[in-house]
Amino acid sequence: MAEITCPICGRSNDANAERCWYCQAVLPHDTPPASDDSQDWLDELRSEKPSTGKSKPQPDKSVPQKPPEAEVPGWLARIRLREQVERKGKSVDSGTSSSSTAPESVIPDWLSEINNEPKDKPGVSAPPKSSGGSPKSGQSQKEEPDDWVKKLESWRSDTNESGNPFQEEIPEELPAEPDLPKSKKPTDLSSAESSSDEDSEANWFTTFMQESADDQPLKKNSAPQQRSPRGSGKAETGSLAKKPSATTGSESTGEKPVATSVPEEENWLTSFKGIKPDQSLSEQVIPPAQKDSKTKAPFKTTKLTDWIQPKKSTSSSNEIPPKDEANIKLEPAILPDWLEELSPKPKEVVHPRKEEPPLDAEESGPLAGIEGTLQGEELSYLYTRPQTYSSSLTVTESQENRLQVLKNIADQARWEDEGLAQKSVSRAWILRLVVILLMFAAVLIPVIAVKIPAITPSLYPNEVIQTFNAVNALPVNKPVLIAADFDGSLYGELNWSLSPLLAHLMAKNIPLAFLSTNSVGAALFTQSLAPLVSRYSAYTSPTQLVDLGYLAGGSIGLQSLARNPAATLPLNSSLQPAWQTQPLSSIHELSDFGALIVVTENADTARYWIEQVKPALGSTPMLVVISAQSAPLLQPYFDSGQINGYLSGLNSAAAYETLTKDPQNANALLSTFQVTMLLAVLLVLVGGVVSLTLYRPVVEEKRGKSA
């Protein structure tokens, strides 16, 4: 059968194959076909081997060359013959479509040739009986140069002890089966293949390359090839099992010789014969897995010959070297170019270059001039930029509306408006000057020149009458406590309002004691008393007039005074005991006073007195002299009966003077007051009318400008 040798892997392939069955390399078809003779194609193969790969080890020329016939062991020759015969048979079967029906009794010529061949081969002795340890074989092995056959015989003998009709006919070294351990027999070959054994199937190509390398000494030294039991066997059987037929689909017919599912003891040839094409190949090939505990290693490494030893080391490159040889540096394998191109190139791991910081020398300090010193922590890392917060405000719509109202008011009240600033200032100045002149004229004319009769009210205010009645009802022996809580700003008004009341009290010769929650109140009150004391000389004596001085603490002081006046103000303004002498010797509580008169210009001060002191007064009347500006705020307290009466402003003073029939300053200046008040009312009225007439909101002006 014509075959073609793969230029890459050196394995023989079918002549019709376009690619190598082993390495899938493109096969050259111009190669002269190999002869049908197995020896011829082997010779051709040998002759082509050196040219197939550069990395093939060169034959050792020191070894004497032997004829090719003698170099090839007989078992190998028979294997290859068998392979050829198989291919022939397959091609014939596929061509005639009757291979499946070939009778088993018909033994082809090649088979008989194979069976007879060992006898004919001079260099190959009969397979030794492993069980019997035939002396014949033993002698012949000693005589023959192929000592490896003896090694194979030693481990193979156990497996072939059982009787086999073909055992004597088929040489021991012929089938691949003996090369395999029992665990790797063809029976579980398919399972091993299907399970993709890492050592065999995945590395079949590596094994093949090792075989190719091992073939060289085989050729040159005429020595048998030492193969790894598993690798070689599986490679061989695997190659047989997977090797496709280029002409026929023999896989579908299940005629693979290796795929025979025969008992372990049977020879592969027997199993080949026993294959039944009508049965499923898997059923025949894949028997139940068996584990043989008696499995032995196919080789005893200690008994290997010298020429095998180095080969073993190379063929078993995957094995872990011993510890003492681990340090031996192996030379990198020289691979062919095509294989180097196919082999994945290791990625170059690029390590980022770490730039080492320059070693700065210390410039100062005890380590000055020394490089590489540990640097202290930089202060710049310790301080961070202060966090800034947004100062934006969220303004709601209602707030914006109110802001707009406030802005409008401010715009209306703004005098220094742009463009109109000078005009406004001059106009405002003129207006102010006119008002001043009018007011002074209204005040001075009645005082200086013209006596304008005052309009005396026929009805007096109720609070004034109640005040008058309260003072009239005061007992003479009870002192009246006067709280002078006013300052100098409204002294004139209060003085006019207070004078008729004090005159009324002094006229009745009622003792007076006064204090102040204002620091200047007592002094101002003394100033008010001065003109009256000259009228009523009795009040020059301390028995009629007592100055209790300043009452500190505000509302707290008032509360203390209401609870215990003697403890709160134990001394008078001269730092003398005030409560042991007349007129206060009979006073133990505030209710013991004849009346309480509060003189103030502030409504809040009057309220404090009402809130804190009035409850302690009981039925003692409480009167208030207050500024006109605070009178409206005091009216509810009068209406509720918390105060018995009050005097406010010049009108009340004039009314009180009228009631007491003692006209003084109030009535004298009442006409002036009325004229001035009339003028002020007129000015307010005119100003309001003018403003209402000329009113034009600033917003409308801006809108008009923008429009």
Closest approach of another protein to the CB of residue 547, in Å? 10
Closest approach of another protein to the CB of residue 361, in Å? 47
What stretch of H or E contains 549? strand 545-550
Answer whether the bond into residue 583 is a cis peptide, omega within 30°. yes
Provide CB contacts within 8 A for 271, sequence distance 6+: 186, 257, 260, 261, 262
Provide CB contacts within 8 A for 145, sequence distance 6+: 222
How do 512-516 and 545-550 pair as beta strands? parallel
What residues between 670 and 689 interact with another protein by CB under 8 A?
672-673, 676-677, 680, 684
Please report whether residue 573 would count as binding another protein according to CB under 8 A. yes
Among residues 579, 521, 526, 578, the alpha carbon closest in space to that of 552 is found at 521
Quote the Cα angle for 648-651-654, to 5°. Answer: 110
Among residues 190, 182, 183, the alpha carbon closest in space to that of 240 is found at 190
CA distance 293 to 181: 11
Closest approach of another protein to the CB of residue 432, in Å? 7
What residues between 43 and 62 interact with another protein by CB under 8 A?
none
Closer residue to another protein (CB): 41 or 609: 609
The 3-state DSSP class for residue 14 equals strand
Closer residue to another protein (CB): 231 or 649: 649
Burial class (CB in 10 A: 0-12, 13-18, 19+), 145: middle
Please report whether residue 272 would count as binding another protein according to CB under 8 A. no
Which one of 149, 235, 281, 490 is in contact with another protein (CB under 8 A)?
Answer: 490
Closest approach of another protein to the CB of residue 387, in Å? 25
Please report whether residue 607 would count as binding another protein according to CB under 8 A. yes
Closest approach of another protein to the CB of residue 573, in Å? 6
Burial class (CB in 10 A: 0-12, 13-18, 19+), 247: middle
Q: Which stretch binds another protein (CB under 8 A): 66-74, 169-177, 454-462, 636-644?
A: 636-644
Three-state DSSP string of 280-313: CHHHHHCCCCCCCCCCCCCCCHHHCCCCHHHHHH
Which one of 632, 663, 687, 688 is in contact with another protein (CB under 8 A)?
Answer: 632
Closer residue to another protein (CB): 302 or 640: 640
Please report whether residue 601 would count as binding another protein according to CB under 8 A. yes
Closer residue to another protein (CB): 317 or 534: 534
Which one of 450, 575, 692, 707 is in contact with another protein (CB under 8 A)?
Answer: 575
Q: In 536-613, which residue ranges form alpha helices assigned H by DSSP?
A: 555-563, 565-568, 603-612
Residue 698, sorted as left (phi over 0), alpha (psi -120 to 50) or beta, turns out to be alpha
Closer residue to another protein (CB): 49 or 563: 563
Residues touching another protein, count (CB under 8 A): 62
Which one of 215, 493, 579, 620 is in contact with another protein (CB under 8 A)?
Answer: 493
Which one of 76, 501, 631, 647 is in contact with another protein (CB under 8 A)?
Answer: 631
CA distance 268 to 177: 7
Closer residue to another protein (CB): 284 or 630: 630
Please report whether residue 260 would count as binding another protein according to CB under 8 A. no
Token pair for residue 307?
């020429």
How do 512-516 and 480-485 pair as beta strands? parallel
What stretch of H or E contains 704? helix 698-706
Please report whether residue 554 would count as binding another protein according to CB under 8 A. yes
Which one of 339, 443, 566, 698 is in contact with another protein (CB under 8 A)?
Answer: 443
Closer residue to another protein (CB): 202 or 434: 434
Contact indicator for 230, 180 with CB cutoff of 8 Å: yes
Q: Which stretch binds another protein (CB under 8 A): 84-92, 211-219, 274-282, 637-645?
A: 637-645
Closer residue to another protein (CB): 285 or 617: 617
Closest approach of another protein to the CB of residue 611, in Å? 3
Q: Which stretch binds another protein (CB under 8 A): 226-234, 236-244, 566-574, 590-598?
A: 566-574
Please report whether residue 519 would count as binding another protein according to CB under 8 A. yes
What residues between 447 and 476 interact with another protein by CB under 8 A?
447-448
Closer residue to another protein (CB): 308 or 670: 670
Burial class (CB in 10 A: 0-12, 13-18, 19+), 629: middle
Please report whether residue 402 would count as binding another protein according to CB under 8 A. no
Which one of 126, 304, 633, 698 is in contact with another protein (CB under 8 A)?
Answer: 633
Contact indicator for 408, 698 with CB cutoff of 8 Å: yes
Contact indicator for 184, 230 with CB cutoff of 8 Å: yes
Tell me the one-letter amino acid at 637: Y
Question: How many helices and strands in the chain, by DSSP H and E?
Answer: 28, 8
Which one of 209, 610, 654, 655 is in contact with another protein (CB under 8 A)?
Answer: 610
Please report whether residue 496 would count as binding another protein according to CB under 8 A. yes
Closer residue to another protein (CB): 123 or 549: 549
Q: What are phi and psi of 355, to 5 degrees?
A: -80, 115
Residues at the contact surface with another protein, assessed by CB under 8 A? 432, 436, 439-440, 443-444, 447-448, 488-490, 492-493, 495-496, 519-520, 522-523, 549-550, 552, 554-556, 559, 570-571, 573, 575, 601, 607-608, 610-612, 614-615, 627-633, 636-637, 639-642, 648-651, 669, 672-673, 676-677, 680, 684
